[in-house]
Chains A and B, each alone.
Chain A
Amino acid sequence: MKIVVLVKHVPDAQFDRHITGPGNTTDRDESILSELDEYALEAALQLAEERGGAKAGNEVIALSMGPSGAVNAVKKSLQIGAYSGVHLSDDALAGSDAAATSLALAATIRHLSADRRPVDLVLTGMASTDGETSLIPAQLAERLSLPQLTFASTLEVNGGTVVARRDAGSHSETVEAQLPALVSVTDQINEPRYPNFKGILAAKKKKIASLSLADIGVDPSEVGQSGSWTVVESAAARPPRTAGTIITDEGDAGIKLVDFLAAQKLL
Chain B
Amino acid sequence: MANALVFIDNPGAALKKSSLELLTLARKLGETAVAFNGELTEHVAATLGAYGVATIYQPSVADLDDYLVAPKAAYLAAAVVASGVTAVLIENSPEGKEIAGRLGIKLNAGVITDVVGLEADGTAHKSVLAGSYNTTAKATTPVAVFSVKANIVEPEPAGAATAPATAKVEVPADAAANAARISSRTEKPASGRPDLSEARIVVAGGRGVDGDFGPLEELADALGAAVGASRAATDAGWIGHDAQVGQTGVTVSPQLYISAGISGAIQQKAGMQTSKVIVAINKDAESPVFEIADFGIIGDLFKVVPQATAEIKKRKG
Contact = CB atoms under 8 A, between A and B. Distances in A.
A36 interface: yes
A262 B315 contact: yes
B247 A150 contact: no
Contact of A260 (B69, B279, B303): B279
Interface in A158-186: 163, 167-177, 181, 186
Contact of B69 (A132, A138, A244): A138
Interface residues of B, number: 96
A175 B308 contact: no
B291 A243 contact: yes
Interface string B267-301: 10010010001110100010000111111111110
A142 B101 contact: yes
A72 interface: no
Interface string B84-113: 000000000111011111101110111111
A233 interface: yes
A52 to B, nearest CB: 27
A7 B122 CA distance: 32
A130 interface: yes
Interface string B112-138: 111000000001000111111111111
A97 to B, nearest CB: 7
A126 B241 CA distance: 15
Interface in A214-267: 228-238, 240-241, 243-249, 251-258, 260-262, 264, 266-267
B296 to A, nearest CB: 4
Contacts of B303: 249, 251, 253-254
A149 B133 contact: no
Which secondary structure dominates chain B's binding surface?
mixed
B281 to A, nearest CB: 8
A233 B139 CA distance: 10
B315 A258 contact: yes
A148 B68 CA distance: 8
A133 B97 contact: yes
A236 B133 contact: yes
A229 B294 contact: no
B136 A233 contact: yes
B44 interface: no
B134 A236 contact: yes
A170 B241 CA distance: 11
A143 interface: yes
Interface stretch (A9-17, A56-64, A108-116): A9-17
Most buried by A among B201, B295, B300, B307: B295
Contacts of B94: 134, 150-151, 168
A129 B113 CA distance: 15
Contact of B133 (A173, A237, A256): A237
B152 to A, nearest CB: 16
Interface residues of A, number: 84
Interface string B304-317: 11111111100110
A235 B134 contact: yes
A199 interface: no
A99 B111 contact: yes
Interface string A193-211: 0000000000000000000
B295 to A, nearest CB: 5
Contact of A174 (B93, B183, B312): B183
Contact of B248 (A187, A235, A248): A187
A61 to B, nearest CB: 22
Contacts of B168: none
Contacts of A146: 178
A19 interface: yes
Contacts of A136: 101
A254 B308 contact: yes
A186 B234 CA distance: 14
Given A169-B197, A238-B131, 14 more contacts: A19-B128, A26-B129, A98-B111, A139-B102, A141-B70, A148-B68, A172-B185, A177-B180, A228-B110, A232-B135, A238-B133, A245-B296, A246-B297, A248-B285
Interface of B: 68-70, 73, 93-95, 97-102, 104-106, 108-114, 123, 127-141, 177-188, 190, 195-197, 201, 223, 241-242, 247-248, 250, 255-256, 266-267, 270, 273, 277-279, 281, 285, 290-300, 303-312, 315-316
6 contacts: A97-B110, A141-B102, A151-B94, A230-B139, A243-B292, A249-B297
